[in-house]
Amino acid sequence: MDLYGRDLICTQDWSFEELMAALDLAAKMKRDRFNPRWTRILEHRTFIMFFYNPSVRTRLSFEAAMTELGGHAQFMTPSAGRFKTQKQAGETIEDAAKVMARYAAGIGIRILEDKVPYYGAGDEMLREYAYWADVPIFNMADDKFHPMQGLADVMGWAEWYGEGPGRPDYSALEGKKFVLTWASGALARSWCSVQEALLVASRFGMHVTLAYPEGYDLDPEVIAQVRQNCQERGTDFEVVHDPEAGYEGAHIVYARNWMSPNAYRDGVFHKQEEIEKALQYPEWILTAEKMARTDNAIFTHPMPVDRGHEVTDEVASGPRSAIYDIAENRLHVQKAVMALTMGNL
């Protein structure tokens, strides 16, 4: 499998076999983390991390990944430069991408929420960087997709239904019921993590139930892709609008807040309005009572968790919570993707 030079902006851009190549390598790297086979793959190489928005897991796991592969990660924010925007003159994406590619073996970019003027603008920007840069561009979360999170999620689910940490069984996910539910919350989340999770769950052969209050539709093009993925795998896709519905028989429950489609208007992200609206739905919280109706489901969330709004502490810190394993997997999947795309492994 030759993945050298490939970008990763959405998992759907890669074939199932390509995703499995990265996931299989990630599991090997997790089982044998500091083996010399891995620790010099990116020796003397630099990875540029360009963050428009804050991050804990993504920044730390990419930095750690580069350290463990023998290279170095450089952190940059837009305030470091003079970049052209809709409102101000400055350096174009073509120039920025071509120059960064002269220094680095790969570039990661995060841009979402209040840093984009309309839904999809962040993903468009990533794809423009990918067009101009002749090194891999990685999506570190844009306004549509979060591919490294999706890979870490599915690896974690397959570990929980497989043989434990570093021993995922992806075939064990086939036919399992995945429930993704909107949740109340005070963070006005973008759609990237939940849309990526729907894409991977459907591609890995799970039945998908999507639950949300009326008015919180996700991107119709992404949902059409999820439906198509389910059709191709012969699984069910259903949408419900009741906070109590969908839990029966579930194996994996993902509860997370997301913004409504009205969040972007007039070139502005209406964050406070979204938060006030979401907090009017306190019944959309994942509780132990709801989890008790599942088939002993695991709880999954990309973090940071908005405890008390999205999910109770009892569930988030409970014995079936996979959140820390999945957060750890960010490191392993990113190491694997960088080794394959930047290191010609």
Where along the sequence are the contacts to ligand CP (CB under 6 A)? 55-58, 141, 149, 302-304
The least distance separating ligand CP from the CB of residue 113, rounded to whole angstroms, comes to 11
The least distance separating ligand CP from the CB of residue 320, rounded to whole angstroms, comes to 20
Q: Considering beta carbons, is residue 194 or 345 the nearer one to ligand CP? A: 194
The least distance separating ligand CP from the CB of residue 327, rounded to whole angstroms, comes to 7
Give the closest residue to 271 by CA, choosing from 262, 263, 260.
263
Q: Considering beta carbons, is residue 185 or 343 the nearer one to ligand CP? A: 185
- What is the four-CA torsion angle of 265, 271, 272, 275, rounded to 10 degrees? 110
Q: Considering beta carbons, is residue 6 or 57 the nearer one to ligand CP? A: 57
Residue 285: other Cβ atoms inside 10 A = 21
Query: If DSSP states are collapsed to H, E and C, what string results for the chain?
Result: CCCCCCCECCHHHCCHHHHHHHHHHHHHHHHCCCCCCCCCCCCCCEEEEEECCCCCHHHHHHHHHHHHCCCEEEEECHHHCCECCCCCCCECHHHHHHHHHHHCCEEEEEECHHHCCCCCHHHHHHHHHHHHCCCCEEEEEECCCCHHHHHHHHHHHHHHCCCCCCCCCHHHHCCCEEEEEECCCCCCCCCHHHHHHHHHHHHCCCEEEEECCCCCCCCHHHHHHHHHHHHHHCCCEEEECCCCCCCCCCCEEEEECCCCCCCEECCEECHHHHHHHHCCCCCCCECHHHHCCCCCCEEECCCCCCECCCECHHHHCCCCECHHHHHHHHHHHHHHHHHHHHCCC
The least distance separating ligand CP from the CB of residue 73, rounded to whole angstroms, comes to 14
Q: Considering beta carbons, is residue 41 or 151 the nearer one to ligand CP? A: 151
Q: Considering beta carbons, is residue 190 or 229 the nearer one to ligand CP? A: 190
Asked if residue 202 lies in contact with residue 237, where contact means CB atoms within 8 angstroms, the answer is yes
Residue corresponding to tokens 């759609």: 191
The least distance separating ligand CP from the CB of residue 303, rounded to whole angstroms, comes to 5
The least distance separating ligand CP from the CB of residue 145, rounded to whole angstroms, comes to 12
The least distance separating ligand CP from the CB of residue 148, rounded to whole angstroms, comes to 8
Q: Considering beta carbons, is residue 305 or 339 the nearer one to ligand CP? A: 305
The least distance separating ligand CP from the CB of residue 2, rounded to whole angstroms, comes to 28
Q: Considering beta carbons, is residue 62 or 170 the nearer one to ligand CP? A: 62
Q: Considering beta carbons, is residue 218 or 345 the nearer one to ligand CP? A: 218
